[in-house]
Amino acid sequence: MMRLPLFDFRAPRTIDEAARILDGEGTSAMVLAGGTDLLPNMKRRQQVPQTLISLRHVEGLSGAQLDHSSSRLGACLTLTEIAKDRRFRNGCSALWQAASLVATPHIRNMATLGGNICLDTRCLYYDQNYEWRKAIDFCKKKDGEICWVATGSSKCMAVSSTDTAPALIALGASVRLQSSSGEREILLADLYNNDGMNYITRQPNEILTEIRLGSLKAWKSTYWKLRRRGSFDFPVRCSCCKDRQATRQHGFRHELAQEGHCCVRDERPAGTPRRRYERRAAAVDAISSRRDLIGTTYLGSARQPLFNCGGN
């Protein structure tokens, strides 16, 4: 049985208090939301913070404000709450589809939107218990010097496994990051680096508190997930498309490329969610067809992803 290491537990009531604690504890502290990713990592000794700062009781992080002009989603909103809330089934359809396809109902009940956005990168050589990793002399991402996926590589090849980030990037989302020294807002697409170790631009003393969306009136979006098993599995590849809906008589507009956006993520080296600005009309015409929509994400290429990320 794998047990959690010893740690101090803090439960602040406000985001300012949480930011002060995080700043005071430094890199020895980590933020805990749902814990569905962090706690298993701690059991495997992939992450060993001395202090956990729970956001569960922090005011204002679990709400969702949606209207025609803009939307604000709290970082501690659970994936189940998103999947069950019918307000997300208009312009935000891609988000509720992505949330509903994460893991299992039990995990979605605990997992949060902010946690899924900040999900640690995964790899077959990294997501093992301590004894297994020690037997191969560890890996570059944790305690080692070599990336076992590509031994000649100078960087880590672990991949992102988030479902909600590609959907939110295609929807044009931005995120609010807060620390004891202030707050800043950046596009969600700018939150990620193409590196398995330094995969996120959020600073150690920053807390992701809110996801913001612009007007989604007259927009339609969809999300498709390609995985090895039919359920309870991380995505091998996922695709999200958003397009502006015109009148009912004329369907969708295809004449301007900037009218639609697509975001894809796959198991390529350090695969992070990335935005596609090139778009084919079929990407939206095939909204009801899983096969055609997944096909459009390749955009004519024949890339073969590295197999460094197995099933859940």
pLDDT band of residue 277 (cuts 50, 70, 90) is: very low
101 with 143, same domain?
yes
**How far, in Å, are 141, 168, 233, 244 from residue 218 at the CA level?**
43, 17, 32, 6
**115 lies in which domain range?**
61-213
| Residues 227, 209 share a domain | no
Output the pLDDT for position 231: 86
d(CA 311, CA 296): 24
Place of tokens 């679990």: 62
Span 235-262, average pLDDT = 56
| pLDDT for residue 287 is more than 60 | no
pLDDT value for 308: 67
Mean residue pLDDT of the chain comes to 84
- Same domain? 244 vs 118: no
pTM of the model: 0.85
User: Which tokens sit at 286?
Assistant: 């095939």
Q: Pick from 178, 213, 248: which residue ends a domain?
A: 213
Q: What are phi and psi of 129, to 5 degrees?
A: -70, 170
In a domain, 284, yes or no: yes
Give percent above pLDDT 70 in the chain.
79
Which positions ≥6 away from 103 have C-beta within 8 Å? 36, 111, 232, 312
Looking at the structure of the chain, the number of domains it has is: 2
- Taking a C-beta distance cutoff of 8 angstroms, is the pair 61, 17 a contact? no
How much is the pLDDT for 276?
Answer: 52
Q: Are residues 189 and 261 in the same domain?
A: no
Backbone angles phi, psi at 182, to 5 degrees: 145, -160
Neighbours of 1 (CB within 10 A): 3
Q: What is the pLDDT of residue 45?
A: 96
Q: Which of 217, 290, 234 is nearest to 102 (CA)?
A: 234
Domain match, 92 and 135 both: yes
Q: What are phi and psi of 29, to 5 degrees?
A: -115, 150
Residue 293 and residue 172 share a domain: no
Q: Which of 192, 213, 234 is the last residue of a domain?
A: 213
Residue 151 shares a structural domain with residue 257: no
Phi, psi of 141 (to 5 degrees): -70, -30
- 183-214 pLDDT per residue, tens: 999 999 999 998 999 999 999 999 999 999 99
Asked if pLDDT for residue 290 goes beyond 60, the answer is no
Q: pLDDT band for 12, please (50, 70, 90 cuts).
A: very high
Beta-strand relationship, 219-226 and 64-66: unpaired
Burial class (CB in 10 A: 0-12, 13-18, 19+), 39: middle
